[in-house]
Structure formats: C-alpha cells, structure tokens
Amino acid sequence: MRADVLKGHLDLLLLAIVEDGPFHGYAVIEELRQRTDGAIDLPEGTIYPALHRLERAGLLASTWSEVNGRRRRSYTLTTGGKKAAREKRREWSAFALTVQRVVGAPAWPTMA
Amino acid sequence: MADHGLISAYLRELDYSVARLPDRADIVAEAEDHLCEEADRLIREGRTPMEAEAAAVARFGSAALIARICVIEAKRGASVPTTRTRAAGLAALLTPMLLIVGQYLNVSVDRGFVHGIGVLLLTAAVPAFIYGLWGLRARHGGLGQLGKIAMACAIVSPFLVFVSGYYGVFTAMGLLTLAVVVLVIEMLRANVLPVIPLVLLAVGPIGVIALVAAITAAGGDAGDVAGYPMLLTTTGFVWLGWHLWSEQPVDSTGHRHGSLAAGAT
C-alpha cells in the first residue's frame, strides 16, 4: 500500500495499535506489519515522527527505559488518546460505509 | 549485537540531519534501538550481521527523509491541539494594546478610577505576555526540559519585581530576557513557525541591553531611547500571536471544529 493512500489514516492505525500497549516504536511497527500482513510498506523510520506528533498532541504518553544498554521509549494511550481513538474509529466506519455504498453498488442496469 | 559500522555510520548521519531539532537526542536514541532490534531479528532469520545491518538501515529510510518527515510532522497543525494555543495567540495580540491603553490612562489621568483602570490594564499585559509565550512554547511541542525551565523562569520573573526595588526590576527583566532568548533559540531549532517574527521577538530585549550599555558607556542618558528596540519585540510577538490565532481550531482529540475535513487527518 502506497504512502499517499495511507495518508489521513496513519493516526488511527497508530492509536489502535498503541491501545493494546504499552509498545515501543519497533513493536508498534512490527504490530502494523503483522496486522496488515505487510501490506503497509513505509520506510519504518517515518513512523517515529508521527508517534512524536501524537505525543505532543497529548494522545500518547511515553516513558524511557534501558534495554540491552540502549535507551528505549515506550508509548501508551492517554485518556485523550482513548477518546480520540474511539472518535476516529467511528469516523472511519462511517467513511468506509459511505465509500462502500458507492463503489460496491451494482452498476446501473443497461439494456442488453 | 556486534556493531559492523553501518548502523553507527547511519546514526551519525541522522544525528547531523536532525541537529536543528530540539528532540534530536531522542530521535537518534529511538533509531538506534529500532535498527539494532531489526538487525538482531534478521540475524536470527539467518542473515549475516553485515547483511542484517544493511537491510535494517535500508528499511528505516534515509537520514534526510527522516529529518524531513520530523519537520513536516512538527509543522502539521492537524493533530496538534490548537484550541488553547489560539487563545494564547489572542492574548499575544492583546498584549501591546493593553500596554498602550494602560500607559495612556496611567500617564494622562493623575488618579481616580480611570487611572486605576490604566494600572490594571498595564498589570494585565504581564500575564497576557506570559500566556502568549506559553502558547508559542506549546505550539512547538513544549521544547523539552530546556523549554520547561525557560517557561518557569518567565513565569517567576514578574514576581521578582516585588523583591527589592530597582534591583528586583532589573533581575526580573534579565531573567525574562534570558527566558525569551532561550525559548526563541529552541523554537528556531524546532522550525515550526516563521523565522523572522521569532528573531524579532528575541532581538528587542537584547537591543535594549546593548543600547543602554553603549549610551551609558558614552556618558549619555539612555532613558529616552532605551525602549525603542522593544518595538521589534512587539512586532514579532503580534506577528506570532496572529499566526497562532489564525490556525484552524483543533481540540486534543484531533477533531477539527467548523471544518468539512473533520476526521481526515
């Protein structure tokens, strides 16, 4: 799946994954890869700035720990993030249903 | 895992590419953790350490790309709550008006109710300025620990006026100037808002100190002109206040108000 197709939906995907967290960045990307069967093919490093933005927006909170001598940042959903995830899910369902009604509708009957 | 040099070389390049961003160290630390973990996974799958590092770096994306995305994401208003920063922008816009009207009433009317209103407006300009600064800092994601300390200094500085006469005033102004300059440097590094008004914001107090020092050293009286550089600060602050105020209102859930594009972030 191309990055431009994903544009606009990445926040919901990240919030939905971190909802089951806490997850560190690599685990978030692994989850994304597994849950989509690898269909989403982004440069992995581009996920981090999006996670940072969601944190600045107060939707995620992060904590640092040390694992194998490396600093590791783990993300959890805040109360605002849970609310945003619910809201974005609802909007996505409504949007997907609307699009499905159009693209999944039978073609206009034509005379044979 | 053994380091074969590819990951460390990449991290040095990334560090250089994100050098202007305030959370540079965190970005590099997360990248290091990710790359090492991915390389370990690939080694477990049977790749040689060299191949694993090369593949991990390739999947992560180029340092230039990551740096560009970091800046783009920092500039994105869509999921940054702007409802409160817009109010702070309005406070920044009002600050010079409070100062001008307050000073006019304070000087033109000797005493009484109207004079009191003037003093009240002058006093209100201080929290309005601090709130505007807070909004600018919040719009830049808090600016880390340094931003937090600078903001705390800015909040504390007005109270120092009450400490001991002129010394208190000078200490308060010095601390506020330092706080503003630190915040502006960090905001410039974050690269979110326009550069010119940010520079103007910091130039004013520095200009006042330089002007007073130069005139005093020359044996003159700096009293009449010392405040002129603050016009630059006022211009920058109003400019930035307008920038904050004119952003689309988005609440902490990422929901846009008054827009057909709601939910399309």
pLDDT in tens, B82-116: 777 888 999 999 998 998 888 888 888 777 888 88
Return the closest-CA partner of residue B265 out of B82, B139, B136: B82
Among A23-32, B134-143, B215-224, B251-260, the range of highest mean pLDDT: A23-32
Tens digits of per-residue pLDDT, A63-111?
899 888 889 999 999 888 888 888 888 888 888 888 888 887 766 665 5
SS3 A17: helix
Q: Quote the ipTM score.
A: 0.84
Tens digits of per-residue pLDDT, B175-218?
888 999 999 988 887 777 888 999 999 988 888 888 888 888 88
pLDDT at residue B259, rounded to an integer: 35
Distance CA A69, CA B84 (A): 39
**Residue B195, Cβ neighbours under 10 Å: how many?**
10
Q: List the single residue in B with minimal CA-CA distance to A55.
A: B141
Q: What is the mean pLDDT of residues B68-73?
A: 83
Structure tokens given for B113: 């109710």
pLDDT at residue B258, rounded to an integer: 44
The reply to whether residue B29 touches residue A70, judged by beta carbons under 8 angstroms, is yes
pTM over 0.90: no
Dihedral angle of Cα B219, B220, B223, B227, to the nearest 10 degrees: -100
Residue A41 sits at the chain B interface (C-beta within 8 Å): no
Question: Which strands form A70-77's sheet, in the order they lie side by side?
Answer: A23-24, A70-77, A60-67
pLDDT at residue B29, rounded to an integer: 93
Long-range contacts of A92-96 (CB under 8 A, 24+ apart): A92/A9, A92/A12, A92/B263, A95/B263
Q: Distance from A40 to chain B by nearest Cα, in Å?
A: 13
* Percent of chain B residues past pLDDT 90, beyond the cut: 29
Return the closest-CA partner of residue B229 out of B251, B203, B250, B196: B203
Structure tokens given for A79: 């109360």
pLDDT at residue B2, rounded to an integer: 52
pLDDT at residue B37, rounded to an integer: 93
The reply to whether residue B61 touches residue A45, judged by beta carbons under 8 angstroms, is yes
SS3 A103: helix
Distance CA B72, CA B216 (A): 46
Best of B15, B37, B71, B136 to substitute, by most chain A Cβ atoms within 10 angstroms, is B37
Alpha-carbon distances, residue A73 vs A86, B128, B136 (angstroms): 24, 36, 26
pLDDT at residue B36, rounded to an integer: 93
Structure tokens given for A41: 């093919």
Contact partners, residue B242, CB within 8 Å, separation at least 6: B89, B93
H/E element holding B260? none
The reply to whether residue B254 touches residue A53, judged by beta carbons under 8 angstroms, is no
